[in-house]
Amino acid sequence: MRFIFCFVIIYHNIGGDGLKFLVITDLHYSDKPLGGNGRYHEMSLPKLREALEKYSDGCEFAVCLGDIADAADGYKPQAQGLKELGEVWRSFDIPFYALIGNHDTAMRKPEFCRLTGMPHRYYSIETHDYLCLMLDTNMNSPDEPYPKQEIKWAYCYIDREQLDWAKEKISGSDKPVIIFTHALLDFDVDEGERNDHVLVNADEVKQALLSSGKVEAVFSGHYHDGLNMKLGNVPYVVFTSMCNEPTNNFAVVEVENCRVNIKGYGTQNDITI
């Protein structure tokens, strides 16, 4: 596996039409036993190995949408969990990209990026047909992108510096754009209500990202039950958590011409938008 970095841009050019990739989210890996929240923490490592081994064929890359390893007093250190998972994904000949999740902020973001191979807390990758923006939704204030402790998950923001960067990347792209986040940009609820999984400044973020007309799809994690809807005319999918239930929950995604086809495994549904 080889990455070519240029500040916060990764170029991974492969011929072909559309884009096919493997997506997982919310592993919450730890050696904690099964708790009342229904999370099978320890099983996420063998689940990750199985997903990559059996279902990554033909994919341009694999991506994890955050909450990769948990920190908990009395259990395996978070850094150790990340190292163990990293040994798994680096053993496969496919680029693996990570996003920061709210639980991942128990560790300082620069250290998390180092352990996961991220070039920055937010970055872009470019395939033959798409520009993909990997965003950082994990701060409790838009003015403090580097929290000093694990953030409160129900009050997530994207900072203004990152939004300016994203708008510039989208404006300068001659390819359609796919957005990846951890926290949600929207939820299918009555107007005026905000679900706790949705960004506090979601309206500002949606305006900044979607007003160009170049965004072809948005993908998120964080809400473990998953959902699918549209942001205006843009397909929007939130994927189910890998760690919930003993089943292995992930998806293979194909995007082409504003059409999203998802083959789901475990509790992840098949979806076509």
Identify whether the C-beta of residue 98 lies closer than 8 Å to the C-beta of residue 68.
Answer: yes
Q: What is the pLDDT of residues 52-74, one digit of tens each?
A: 999 999 999 999 999 999 998 88
Sign of the alpha-carbon dihedral angle for 31, 34, 37, 40: positive
Residue whose entry in the numeric block shows the structure tokens 């997982």:
24
164: which strand partners? none
DSSP three-state, residue 20: strand
Is there a contact between 241 and 8 (Cβ–Cβ < 8 Å)? no
CA angle 23, 27, 29 (to 5 degrees): 145
pLDDT at 265 over 70: yes
CATH architecture of 5-272: 4-Layer Sandwich (3.60)
Query: What is the SS3 assignment for 85?
Result: helix
Alpha helix ranges (H) inside 68-139:
78-89, 109-116
What's the whole-number average pLDDT of the chain?
91
pLDDT band at 190 (very low <50, low <70, confident <90, very high): low
Query: What predicted TM-score, i.e. pTM, was given to this entire model?
Result: 0.92
pLDDT tens per residue across span 15-60: 346 899 999 999 999 998 876 678 999 999 999 999 999 999 999 9
Rounded to a whole number, what is the distance in angstroms from the first to the last CA of the chain? Answer: 32
- The pLDDT confidence band at residue 258, using thresholds 50, 70 and 90, is confident
Q: Which two tokens stand for residue 4?
A: 């070519």
Instruction: Give CA–CA dist 19/57, Å, rounded.
Output: 13
